[in-house]
Chains A and B, each alone.
Chain A
Amino acid sequence: DTEVTQTPKHLVMGMTNKKSLKCEQHMGHRAMYWYKQKAKKPPELMFVYSYEKLSINESVPSRFSPECPNSSLLNLHLHALQPEDSALYLCASSQGSGGYTFGSGTRLTVV
């Protein structure tokens, strides 16, 4: 299995909702990432988990809360988001210097 699977593919949520994005990989990678990508922009790093511990937090607002339950799973909990948080959220995993394997993303719309 050489894939990173993200669910859901699309999500529409209100500003008072709580939702979660999920990411799963079975390649044995020990680093997992959340990126945010706005239209026509490069991905921006949000969080890095290395060996299930949060190692990089790029000063992301607290309305985004990551969780790494085990080495194969990565969640992103969303609460009280703003319309400007609408974007493509990408999960990735890696092992060493081999580069990232990305999921296909969750298209989030905040209304």
Chain B
Amino acid sequence: AQSVTQLGSHVSVSEGALVLLRCNYSSSVPPYLFWYVQYPNQGLQLLLKYTSAATLVKGINGFEAEFKKSETSFHLTKPSAHMSDAAEYFCAVSVDSSASKIIFGSGTRLSIRP
């Protein structure tokens, strides 16, 4: 079965610092991988997706993620954190080639210190 594991339920960084949110996947076939962000009392918004094209994926709001097959990882990074980045972040994997069913990781809450 396919799954994702997010390391660290809470990450706190200073404004302007590097953001690194970790995600490892388990899959017997090439996966589709996603990062979503959820602001308080809102739905989820797609940040970026990996669908077997380029291994370095650029998303919205300055975020990017790199697919590393050898490490089964898909970590999310942003060079310089903004206060507005404070939110819950979910890594997700699809369980079929049409990506019609997506399984979410447990989430990482990102806090930004002034």
Total number of B residues with any Cβ neighbor in A under 8 Å: 24
The 5 closest A-B pairs by CB, nearest first: A102-B43, A42-B104, A97-B99, A102-B44, A104-B43
Q: Say whether chain B's binding surface is mostly helix, strand, loop, or mixed.
A: loop
Q: Is B41 an interface residue (CB 8 A)?
A: yes
**Between-chain CB contacts (< 8 Å), 25 pairs:** A4-B43, A6-B43, A31-B100, A40-B107, A42-B106, A43-B104, A45-B103, A48-B100, A56-B100, A92-B43, A92-B44, A96-B98, A96-B99, A97-B32, A97-B51, A97-B94, A98-B49, A98-B51, A99-B34, A99-B46, A99-B49, A99-B99, A99-B102, A102-B43, A105-B43
Q: Is A64 an interface residue (CB 8 A)?
A: no
Interface string of B30-60 (1 = CB under 8 A from A): 0010101000011111100101000000000
From A43, A55, A107, B44 is in contact (CB under 8 Å) with A43
From B42, B44, B107, A100 is in contact (CB under 8 Å) with B44
Q: Is B97 an interface residue (CB 8 A)?
A: yes
Rounded to whole angstroms, the CA-CA distance of A40 and B106 in the bound complex is 9
Contacts of A41 on B, CB cut-off 8 Å?
Answer: 106-107
Across the interface, do A42 and B102 meet the contact criterion of CB distance under 8 Å? no
Rounded to whole angstroms, the CA-CA distance of A13 and B84 in the bound complex is 34
Contacts of B104 on A, CB cut-off 8 Å?
Answer: 42-43
Q: Is A94 an interface residue (CB 8 A)?
A: yes
Total number of A residues with any Cβ neighbor in B under 8 Å: 26
Rounded to whole angstroms, the CA-CA distance of A48 and B102 in the bound complex is 11
Rounded to whole angstroms, the CA-CA distance of A92 and B90 in the bound complex is 15
Q: Which residue of A lies closest to B44 (CB)?
A: A102
From A56, A97, A104, B42 is in contact (CB under 8 Å) with A104
Across the interface, do A42 and B100 meet the contact criterion of CB distance under 8 Å? no
